[in-house]
Amino acid sequence: MAALDTLSPDADYEEAERRAIRRRRVVSVAVPVGTAVALILLWQAGVRFFEVPTYIAPAPSDVAGAFVAKSDVLIMNFWPTLIEALSGFFVGNMAAILIAIGFVHSRNIERAFFPIAVFVNTIPILAIAPILVLIFGPGLTAKVVIAALICFFPTLVNMVRGLESVSPQALELARILSASKAEVFWKIRLPSSLPFLFSALRIAATTSVIGAIVGEWVGADLGLGALIIDSTFNFNSPLLYATVFMSSGLSVLLFAAVALTERLVIRW
């Protein structure tokens, strides 16, 4: 009984602490969500109050209506963009990683190719997209190449930095252990580069969607980009807005997938 008496204030305190943490967590979610809801309501009220024509700015309720009524069209156009963005993401990042490894392996490779990489990166993606569509035709390939191109440079730069981020001391340790170049790469350089790689992949997750959509603008009959162009020309603003939300949803999805993988892989 005595033991329980001395314990209970502590238990009370812990309970209060736990409740405070829970409250803080609820607040940290509730505030941004509440703000977003308030803004949407304001938008709804504004459009209705000023009687803005739907084709100029649809009310949130119109957009929601489009989501429901045109869900089959939206989904049908979602898949091609997802596939293009994902393929571009893999191709672009894979190429960047391999070339970064080549750069770190040999200064001469870096000297030969880095200026070219910088030059390609300076060409605006909107300017190069028509060229790529001309080369690869109106099919899937051009969009994948555009998405890959947009992912490529940030990953290349980050990956080179990551592979070179190994501390000199760790390299001395490797030398004392007579580790081979391959062992240094697999056991030290590559793991050290992972945090750098993932910060580049987070960027690529969203830019690859931009790349796919830009590619579709230039020439496609299917995909979220094509739907954006189509609904704009038809003054179908609710569908346009719904498509835009769908595109940003795709970016968020890819970003979340990368962030989740990062959390599983990088535990240090």
Partner 1 sequence: MHAPAAASLKAASVRFGSFTAIDNLSLEIEAGSFYTILGPSGCGKSTMLRLVSDLIPAASGEVSIFGKTTEAARLAREFAFVFQDATLLPWRSALKNVELPLEVGRKRGIELPVGNRSPRELLELVGLKGRENALPHELSGGMRQRVAIARALVCQPKLLLMDEPFGALDEMTRDHLNLQLLEIWRETGTTILFVTHSIAEAVFLGQKVVMLAAHPGRLREVIDIDLPEPRTIPMRDTAEFTRYSARLRELLETC
* Positions that interact with partner 1 (CB under 8 A): 167, 169-170, 172-180, 183, 187-188, 191, 194, 266-268
Which amino acid belongs to residue 186? W
Q: Among residues 100 and 174, whose Cβ is nearest to partner 1?
A: 174
Q: Among residues 117 and 161, whose Cβ is nearest to partner 1?
A: 161
Q: Count CB atoms within 10 A of the CB of residue 19.
A: 10
Minimum distance, C-beta of residue 199 to partner 1, in the bound complex (Å): 16
Which amino acid belongs to residue 97? I
Which amino acid belongs to residue 155? T
Cα distance between residue 160 and residue 193, in whole Å: 8
SS3 letters across 169-232: HHHHHHHHCCCCHHHHHHHHHHHHHHHHHHHHHHHHHHHHHHHHHHHHHHCCCCCHHHHHHHHH
Q: Count CB atoms within 10 A of the CB of residue 99.
A: 20
Q: Among residues 146 and 188, whose Cβ is nearest to partner 1?
A: 188
Minimum distance, C-beta of residue 173 to partner 1, in the bound complex (Å): 5
Q: Among residues 82 and 194, whose Cβ is nearest to partner 1?
A: 194
Q: Among residues 44 and 192, whose Cβ is nearest to partner 1?
A: 192
Minimum distance, C-beta of residue 231 to partner 1, in the bound complex (Å): 48
Cα distance between residue 132 and residue 125, in whole Å: 10
254 sits in which H/E element: helix 237-265
Cα distance between residue 131 and residue 144, in whole Å: 14
Minimum distance, C-beta of residue 81 to partner 1, in the bound complex (Å): 35
Minimum distance, C-beta of residue 263 to partner 1, in the bound complex (Å): 14
